[in-house]
Chain A
Amino acid sequence: MKKTIEGSIAVAEVARDCGPDVVACFPITPSTHIAETLDKMYTNGEIKSYTAVESEFSAISMLVGASAAGARAFTTTDSQGLALMHEVLFAAAGMRLPMVIVNANRSLSAPLSIWNDHQDSVSERDSGWIQLYCKNNQEAVDTVPQAFKISEDTNIPVMVCFDGFYLTHLVEQIDIPEKEVIGKYLPKRKAEYKLDPENPITMGMYALPTHYQGFRIDLHQDVLKAAENVKKEMEAWGDVSGRKYGNGLWEEYHAEDAEYLFIGMGSVMENAELAVEKMRKEGKKVGLVRIRCYRPFPSEVVEAIKGKKGALVFEKAVSMGADAPLYAEISSAMKEKGADVPLSSYVGGLGGKDITVGHIEQMFGEIEGGPVKKVWDGETGAPKIKKSLGAGEENGGA
């Protein structure tokens, strides 16, 4: 059903309709509205359980217990909250416990900032969680049911990432899938193993060097294999909802015949779509590749980059003292697959620094002269254009 609704509330409604048994949250801007909405739903009897815990550490720990007991478990957080969960994120994945976090991407301290970037979730890329990044609120509501399905089919936890403020607090028209549609798509969880006195098992054991590596590499292999589940669920969800986002792993936009590509993740890619539309009208052959599934990392995305005159990776994350993470991974995949395309790296948009359509045009322009590696500082006096997407204000709104 189409509704004009805030992104957070829409996500909460879909999370509710996925029928979670256990929800436990702790408030942190900008994910708080999701938590508050779920709490309200609990007080109205719309979800079975909601616990307002004393920390994100307890929220994720409750999810571990709940999932181990065979329940469907959900939480939302971001930034410091996700960082506080760090230790348990690894344990949850290692224990092969399905669960879903919606992460409302926000920067990390210090300095403190409540605004958007991807440093929080990108820092958890090695935790064993599947990570899906959304470009808009429609995709966020479409991704939550898929996340539960993928997670419960693979016994790997899934993090749905959508940008704090740019999306969480944006009021726009969203087509919210009906509860019946979700119910049909997402059957009740049937746990392969659980804490059950009738059939006692021991979970979370310790392993000596003879076994430890085997467990970790099994998880790694299974996360890689989960790419098939991500693709399959995109198809399946597309069939019931009529909406698809690329092949589930990445989404291309005018990429096929493009000479130059802009590669990135999250809501900035909607602005990038506007930039491409505008530049195409001006006869410039530009296109986009949006990484939707960051873990498992879809290295086959290189096929979409091969043969271009140039490509740039724009990302809202830094690996302190090294190349930017997404750039480094794309560049290594290109090398491995023999794609000899000049690749540029732009880091920007940290702590909510707006990335406008004009900025994206400028970046496209810059890489024509050869590969660039830089921090995009934003305030370039680029022309701002009016567009009718999202908040409808100016180009920063999407």
Chain B
Amino acid sequence: MDKQVHKFILQLADNELILGHRISEWCGHGPALEQDIALTNIALDHVGQARLFYQLAAEMEGNGKTEDDYPYKRLETSFYNVQLVEHENIDFGYTIVRSFFYDHFYYFLLDQLTKSKHTALANIAKSAIKEVKYHLRYSSEWMRRLGDGTEESHRRVQQAVHDLYPYTGEMFLPSTADEHMKEAYGIDCASIKEQWLTAVKEILHEATLELPDGSWFHKGGKEGVHTEKLGYILTELQYIQRAYPNMQW
């Protein structure tokens, strides 16, 4: 098994799982019934994509591993998602901004993956990108509505942009697994940065919003160093498996 490819797959899977977990927290609490349904739908897509990646990782590893071993039986230092996706749903604006930043990155990454020589990854990417196009449209439309809506919505969403932007740099900062993917398969997360900035800025402009000037970015998620929030997420996510180990559900 190629360990670096395996880790790259876990990076993808963990991003999808943790973001899906966060968005699923909205279920039953959305700002309107239609948004409740849409957010739940998006959470379902994210968790569904996480499953595809975990299944692939399990298949690569063999020895009886299943999709559930990764989300339920690893400790926080063995999760490789970027820190951005761990952030709480402070309000609907934070949820949208978090997705908006992530969806753009993920879209461009999947776009590269659809063309890669790694057939299994390319196949997942081809089906996943269809869902991500919808996520991207959803988060972008809400950026416009909130940014160019009322004074209050503008203020709130601008604050979220300001607070979450420092967590975006990590997406483009190659981990050792990313370096390997670049050499072996031409998948280059660093090269996405420019495309990402152009796309994000264009929509922010329409939304009358601005990126902060800062050039300082947090990092560590891809190497297993997270924010304090991940521990709480896993406490909830893994509760049953920890309390009742080795059972079928």
A binds B: no
B contact residues vs A (CB 8 Å cutoff):
none
